[in-house]
Structure 1
Amino acid sequence: MYDTVLVPTDGSARSRAAARRAIDLAAVYGATVSVLSVIDARDLGLWTSADVPIANVQATLRDAAEMAVEEIAALASESDVPCETTVRIGVPHREILDFVEERDADIVVMATHGRKGLEHAILGSTTERVVRLSDVPVLTVRE
């Protein structure tokens, strides 16, 4: 039923809770877990070279994203579930939906909430957008 389970992560505890559910699901179906972290390109616009060199910001964000996907890969390894990791730069919900199509993912498992506060109210939730626009089932997990 499921061959590829996609887990988007932002490195939060909520994302790890969703990852645990995805790993359990993948173990039952003999599926591979694909872990994706998206560096929000809109975040890069918050910095200017006068504040700090953009290359430093990108490196810091990439390091955080790499740590987030590797943490979930370690959880998958503990459960003997095959796992692949990817880090991208872009608009998170678009990158997640593109990844679903490119990798022919069967299901997306993600946390119900990521960002909080004013930014959530203005931009809307990545999870909400993925749920509305995805062609495959989306399992949302509360921490």
Structure 2
Amino acid sequence: MYDSVLVPTDGSARSLAAARRAIDIADTYDATIRVLSVIDSSDLGLWTAADVPVERVQASLRDAAEMAVEEIASLADDADIPCETAVRIGVPHREILDYADEVGADLVVMATHGRTGLEHAILGSTTERVVRLSEVPVLTVRE
């Protein structure tokens, strides 16, 4: 049923909960886990002070993203599940959808942040956008 399961991660505990669910699914269906972390391109401008080189900010964000995907890759390895990792820079929901298409993902398993009301309306939701726009099923996991 599932050959390729995509797990987007931001390195949070919520993402780890989703990854554990994805690993269980991959184990059941003998699937490969694809782990993606997206560095939000809009974050680069927000965190860059005039005296801090953009390259340093990018390197810091990339290091955090690499750690996030490697943590899940380690969990997959412990479960003897094949795993591939990727880090991208861009608009998170677009990069997730593009990557799902590129790797032929059959399922996307991702965390929700549980925001409601005004906070949800202002901040939006990457997960919600992926759910609305994905051509493959999306399983959302609350921590």
TM-score > 0.5, shorter chain as reference = yes
- 1:111 equivalent to 2:105? Answer no
TM-score by length of 1: 0.94
| CA distance, structure 1, for counterparts of residue 7 and residue 93 of structure 2 | 12
Following superposition, the deviation at residue 61 of structure 1 comes to 0.1
| CA distance, structure 2, for counterparts of residue 67 and residue 117 of structure 1 | 32
- Overall identity of the aligned pairs, in %: 80
Alignment-derived partner of residue 62 in structure 1: 62
Q: Which amino acid aligns with 1:22?
A: A
| CA distance, structure 2, for counterparts of residue 7 and residue 86 of structure 1 | 10
TM-score by length of 2: 0.94
| CA distance, structure 2, for counterparts of residue 115 and residue 86 of structure 1 | 27
Alignment-derived partner of residue 121 in structure 1: 121
Alignment-derived partner of residue 32 in structure 2: 32
Give the direction of change, closer, same or farther, for the CA distance of 1:16–1:117 in structure 2 (3 Å limit): farther
| CA distance, structure 1, for counterparts of residue 118 and residue 61 of structure 2 | 21
Alignment deviations for residues 37-73 of structure 1 (CA, whole Å, 9 cap, x no partner): 0000000111345141100000000000000000000
Alignment-derived partner of residue 16 in structure 2: 16
**8 Å Cα contact 1:19-1:110 kept in structure 2:** yes
Following superposition, the deviation at residue 122 of structure 1 comes to 2.1
**8 Å Cα contact 2:48-2:57 kept in structure 1:** no
| Count of residue pairs the alignment pairs up | 143
Q: How does 1:72-87 map to 2 (within 5 A)?
A: 72-87=72-87
Paired residue secondary structure (1:28):
helix
Give the direction of change, closer, same or farther, for the CA distance of 1:119–1:47 in structure 2 (3 Å limit): farther
Q: How does 1:38-49 map to 2 (within 5 A)?
A: 38-48=38-48
Q: Which amino acid aligns with 1:130?
A: V
Q: In structure 1, list runs of 5 or more residues that go unmatched.
A: none
Q: Which amino acid aligns with 2:93?
A: H
Q: Which amino acid aligns with 1:62?
A: R
Following superposition, the deviation at residue 9 of structure 1 comes to 0.0
